[in-house]
Structure 1
Amino acid sequence: MGVAERKNREREARERRITSAARQIAEAEGWSAVTVRRLADEIEYTQPVLYSHFKNRDAIVGAVALEGFREIKKVLQHAAQGPTDSRHAREDVAIAYLDFARDHPALYEAMFTMSTDLQFAEADTPSELREAFQVLAAVVPPSCRDVDVATETFWAALHGLAQLESSGRIKHGTRLARVALLVHGLFE
């Protein structure tokens, strides 16, 4: 192993420590508690070391968001592999999406509501975002006139439901009925 490989591995390990600490603090205390100074204290590095990895806090949030997109992609893929019936696959993916948002509120917030430099639906959209989108698109019926628009609408509806659920503004006991109505209304 060369020196460059070792240094690269060490750099990646530091970045993982930074993003892991950011996630832990955010899950426990909210994103307002995540500051560069706090992260430096948590992982016992100086602030300049953190800035050598990330240009600012938004970049750290962006790195956490990318982790979230890798994770949600796996969750949604697993949900889509269950039933052979396409309607049930869409419902299972929708429920998995909502469960992910509920179970990882700070991570979901980093992915969808926090300020980051991540570009959605652009030429330079990171692969993690595109791949997660493609998992949603895979359960959209190919008969849809525009699968991308249908997928964006499905995603937007799921995001709205996730936000309303997390704020307690809709009944929790009717989630399955809402998901069935969403899938039926959009795709059948």
Structure 2
Amino acid sequence: MEKAIQRQQEQEQLKNLIIEQSRIIIEEEGWSALSIRKIADAIGYSVPVIYKHFTSKDDIIEYFTKEGFELLATQLSNAIQTDHAAADKINRIAKAYWAFAFTHQKHYEIMFGLGIPTCEAIQTVSEKRQTSDVIYSVIAEAVTQSGRTDIDIHLKLKTFWSIMHGLVALELLSNNQKSIQPSDIMKDAIDGYIKSLIN
């Protein structure tokens, strides 16, 4: 029994080693440089050993994608813990989203490599759904507080995500913005978005 437990612990340690080495390669060289062979060489194991834990490079990418969405959902949730009006919460979520993209650029690149996820993709991955649910709940709260009945909350969710992803892609990823503080363009866009909900 002890040997089985020890073996399991060793396998878990090896999996963690693979993940951490993958993280180093991604941070230093980018996603395109990641390969099973490079990971194996870096940690001193054979390629088949890596395949026991991850069936392919795509499997490793999926791990980091889920990790990224879990981190994003947590940061967005933390941003709205205090008791504020819904409009203020939307601002806080936008700032938290920007800060996440700034501090976790490699995660963000792979999470949104093909643009914002579709509704179908959100429903099939729990980590994506958590992120979507946080944003949706705040938008729904703002709509309720406004008393309006003519707003499609799902549409407004997609609009919010499109605004944020577009600004991050244009300003932060392509222009290498160095400030964690949101740009004036983002502030202006979110102010306009909030007005579309509450006016």
Question: Does structure 1 conserve the Cα–Cα contact (< 8 Å) formed by 2:123 and 2:129?
Answer: no
| 1:167 corresponds to 2:174 | yes
- What amino acid sits opposite 1:129 in the alignment? K
- State the distance in 2 between where 1:65 and 1:28 align: 18
- What amino acid sits opposite 2:125 in the alignment? P
Residue by residue, what CA displacement relative to the aligned partner does 1:88-139 show, whole Å, maximum 9, x if unpaired?
Answer: 100110111111112211111121117xxx9862596121111111111121
Under a length normalisation based on structure 2, what TM-score does the superposition of the two structures give?
A: 0.78
SS of 2:21's equivalent?
helix
Identify the residue that residue 95 of structure 2 maps to in structure 1: 95
Point out the more displaced range, 150-159 or 60-69: 150-159
Residue by residue, what CA displacement relative to the aligned partner does 1:127-165 show, whole Å, maximum 9, x if unpaired?
Answer: 111111111112112547443332222112211111111
1:1-188 paired onto structure 2 within 5 Å: 7-113=7-113, 121-122=120-121, 125-142=124-141, 143=143, 145-165=151-171, 166-168=173-175, 172-185=183-196, 188=199
Q: Label 1:28 to 1:82 Cα distance change in 2 as closer, same or farther (>3 A).
A: farther
Q: Where do 5+ consecutive residues of structure 1 fail to align?
A: none
Point out the more displaced range, 154-163 or 178-187: 178-187
The Cα of 1:65 is off from its aligned counterpart by 0.8
- State the distance in 2 between where 1:41 and 1:97 align: 36
- State the distance in 2 between where 1:167 and 1:3 align: 51
- Identity in percent: 31
Structure 1 or 2, whichever has the larger Rg, is: 2
SS of 2:124's equivalent?
coil
SS of 1:139's equivalent?
helix
SS of 2:52's equivalent?
helix
Question: Does structure 1 conserve the Cα–Cα contact (< 8 Å) formed by 2:122 and 2:132?
Answer: no
SS of 1:121's equivalent?
helix
The Cα of 1:176 is off from its aligned counterpart by 2.2
Question: Does structure 1 conserve the Cα–Cα contact (< 8 Å) formed by 2:66 and 2:128?
Answer: yes
Point out the more displaced range, 45-54 or 139-148: 139-148
Question: Does structure 1 conserve the Cα–Cα contact (< 8 Å) formed by 2:25 and 2:33?
Answer: yes
Q: Label 1:119 to 1:177 Cα distance change in 2 as closer, same or farther (>3 A).
A: closer
Q: Where do 5+ consecutive residues of structure 2 fail to align?
A: 144-148
SS of 2:194's equivalent?
helix
- What amino acid sits opposite 1:153 in the alignment? T
- State the distance in 2 between where 1:120 and 1:5 align: 41
For the aligned residues, what is the CA RMSD? Answer: 2.9
Question: Does structure 1 conserve the Cα–Cα contact (< 8 Å) formed by 2:163 and 2:189?
Answer: no
